């Protein structure tokens, strides 16, 4: 019998436009497929609870798709390079195919695996399946990585366009060699308390089919007003593709070309499509930053912030995490996060700004909370975005740009629909007062059934005082520099 080839799935849980799977199929050899749950290589950045829930269901969907094509998905647990090398030996594989990771720890594991396979006489083939552009290939004129988005994106758009997506194989020639596999349940990805995931189940359909449906819905709906409505948390104005992209249930290339095709068919979409593709560009930029700055999740990109006087107020951190700050738009966002595993991007910025500026809590504490609670928790996006808001990252918002959450709520949730959905205690407060109930007349609150300090918290921080304190801290930082 011909020796088989092994395909390793990672954050590429799809059959369509999967370069590793495509190349393995084109080799003509029998194919074995595997997924290795590696909680060791990432260290402190092992997947959080919400991501593990998503992974369980995405693996179930992938396993079904492979089974329909005659191949079972082998599940293992352990270090990626160790388990992959062992499995290749068990199968007597002549080659191993996988899609590379650009994150520091997994990239190191990729390098280790390639060397070990080669030393064992096994071919090693790695591909880029997660990004539109290879982060090593996009460089400044001096040959370094970019630190500012606009010239980075300009360089991307000047590079060869992302290739067309590859088709999913209609059938796979399964390897006959048997190899032990864990059950999906044995990976223990689901929460111990099933009720914790109720909101996740109601909000998402993990898997490749769910990703395709979500893209189709976006193209037929929100794309048409994306540029104007993407900042509105009260309406369906975004793609909601981030988790599908993170787990690789759909490729960035597939999304790119689908949007380009939609624009070609309907030229009136051009402005909205350009804005959306630029948001894909920010995803690329974050990956680019992490690739060139491996310590991005732990260290300030701007070193002068190493001396910033962060607060260790654990009580304030807990209030922020639970959505009990007494600031309606912020509490709505934090509760949306806990209930659904996501938070609207505009509200993410509001929540992050409040934590690092009004509460003076280290951005890394916020990044850790998002890492555990977001279904789309992505190391590059999470790290770069938190540093951007904190003012210590690449192309960052100035530290003195401090969101006023009440004004942000009035602007982007004008009727209070978003707040009413996630902060039902305020459901009967009139729109003109819902984002700053502390300023509402007592009669208005009484009629709405709201008693501040009882049915809904008083603000944990006076917004004006918090802003003044943040500016003073930044001023001292500048003096020290």
Shared-domain flag, residues 113 and 135: no
β-bridge mates for residue 6, sequence order: 32, 96
For residue 323, CA distances in Å to 57, 335, 358 come to 28, 6, 15
On whether both 346 and 438 belong to a single domain, the answer is yes
Q: What residues are annotated to the active site?
A: 279, 282, 310, 345, 363, 386
Which range of residues forms the domain containing residue 378? 303-480
Residue 29 lies in a domain: yes
Comparing CA positions, the residue from 235, 321, 250 lying closest to residue 280 is 250
Domain count, the chain: 3
Q: What is the CATH number of the domain that holds 31?
A: 3.40.50.620
Please tell me whether residues 260 and 403 are part of one structural domain.
no
Is residue 124 situated within a structural domain?
Answer: yes
Report yes or no on 172 lying in a domain.
no
In a shared domain, residues 152 and 97: no
Domain assignment of residue 427, yes or no: yes
H/E run at residue 460: none
Helix, strand, coil percentages, rounded to 5, for the chain: 55, 5, 40
One domain, residues 344 and 466: yes
Q: Are residues 277 and 316 in the same domain?
A: no
- Domain check: are 227 and 125 in the same one? no
| Residue 75 shares a structural domain with residue 155 | no
Does 173 reside within a domain? Answer: no
**Which pLDDT value is given to residue 377?**
97
Is 298 domain-assigned? no
Residues 454 and 307 in one domain: yes
Judging by beta carbons within 10 Å of its beta carbon (0-12, 13-18, 19+), is residue 3 exposed, middle or buried?
middle
Select from 292, 321, 341 the last residue of a domain: 292
Q: Is residue 181 part of a domain?
A: no
Question: Could you tell me if 256 and 312 lie in one domain?
Answer: no
Query: Tens-of-pLDDT digits for all 481 residues of the chain?
Result: 799 999 999 999 999 999 999 999 999 999 999 999 999 999 999 999 999 999 999 999 999 999 999 999 999 999 999 999 999 999 999 999 999 999 999 999 999 999 999 999 999 999 999 999 999 999 999 999 999 999 999 999 999 999 999 999 999 999 987 789 999 999 999 988 767 788 999 999 999 999 999 999 999 999 999 999 999 999 999 999 999 999 999 999 999 999 999 999 999 999 999 999 999 999 999 999 999 999 999 999 999 899 999 999 999 999 999 999 999 999 999 999 999 999 999 999 999 999 999 999 999 999 999 999 999 999 999 999 999 999 999 987 777 789 999 999 999 999 999 999 999 999 999 999 999 999 999 999 999 999 999 999 999 999 999 999 999 988 888 776 6
On whether residue 321 sits in a domain, the answer given is yes
Q: Report the pLDDT value the prediction gives residue 44, as an integer from 0 to 100.
A: 93
Give yes or no: residues 338 and 468 share one domain: yes
Note whether 135 and 116 are same-domain residues.
no
User: Which pair of structure tokens corresponds to residue 149?
Assistant: 């988005």
- Cα 57 to the center of its chain, rounded Å: 17
Q: What is the pLDDT of residue 441?
A: 97
Give the domain CATH number at 258.
1.25.40.80
């Amino acid at each position: 019998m011909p020796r088989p080839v092994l395909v390793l799935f990672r954050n590429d849980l799809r059959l369509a436009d999967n370069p590793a799977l495509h190349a393995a199929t084109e080799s003509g050899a029998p194919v074995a497929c595997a997924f290795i749950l590696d909680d060791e290589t990432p260290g402190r950045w092992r997947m959080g609870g919400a991501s593990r829930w998503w992974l369980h269901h995405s693996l179930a969907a992938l396993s079904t798709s492979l089974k329909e094509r005659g191949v079972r998905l082998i599940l293992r647990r352990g270090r990626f390079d160790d388990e992959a090398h062992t499995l290749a030996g068990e199968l007597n594989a002549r080659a191993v195919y996988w899609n590379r990771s650009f994150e520091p720890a997994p990239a190191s594991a990729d390098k280790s695996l390639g060397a070990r396979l080669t030393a064992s006489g096994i071919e090693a083939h790695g591909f880029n399946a997660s990004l539109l552009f290879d982060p090593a290939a996009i460089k400044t004129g001096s040959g370094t990585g970019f630190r500012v988005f606009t010239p980075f994106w300009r360089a991307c758009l000047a590079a060869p366009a992302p290739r067309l997506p590859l088709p999913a194989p209609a059938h796979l020639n399964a390897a006959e060699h048997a190899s032990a596999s864990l059950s999906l349940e044995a990976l223990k990805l689901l929460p111990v308390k099933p009720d914790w995931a109720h909101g996740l189940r109601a909000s998402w359909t993990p898997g490749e089919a769910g990703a395709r449906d979500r893209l189709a819905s976006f193209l037929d709906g929100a794309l048409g007003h994306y540029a104007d409505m993407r900042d509105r948390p009260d309406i369906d104005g975004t793609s909601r593709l981030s988790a599908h992209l993170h787990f690789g249930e759909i490729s960035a290339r597939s999304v790119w070309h689908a949007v380009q095709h939609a624009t070609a068919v309907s030229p009136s979409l051009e402005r909205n499509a350009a804005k959306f593709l630029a948001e894909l560009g920010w995803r690329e930029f974050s990956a680019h930053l992490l690739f060139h700055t491996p310590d991005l999740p732990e260290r300030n990109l701007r070193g002068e912030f190493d001396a910033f006087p962060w607060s260790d107020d654990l009580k304030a951190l807990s209030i922020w995490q639970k959505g009990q700050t007494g600031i309606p738009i912020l509490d709505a966002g934090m509760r949306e996060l806990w209930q659904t595993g996501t938070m609207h991007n505009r509200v993410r910025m509001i929540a992050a700004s409040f934590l690092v500026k009004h509460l003076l809590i280290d951005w890394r504490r916020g990044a850790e909370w998002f890492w555990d609670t977001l279904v789309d928790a992505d190391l590059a996006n999470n790290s770069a975005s938190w540093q951007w808001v904190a003012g210590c990252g690449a192309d960052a918002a100035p530290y003195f740009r401090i969101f006023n959450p009440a004004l942000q709520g009035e602007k982007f949730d004008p009727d209070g629909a978003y707040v009413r959905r996630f902060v039902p205690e305020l459901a009967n407060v009139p729109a003109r007062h819902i984002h700053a109930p502390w300023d509402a007349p007592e009669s208005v609150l009484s009629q709405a059934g709201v008693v501040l300090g009882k049915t809904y918290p008083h603000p944990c921080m006076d917004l004006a005082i918090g802003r003044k304190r943040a500016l003073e801290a930044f001023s001292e930082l500048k003096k020290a520099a």
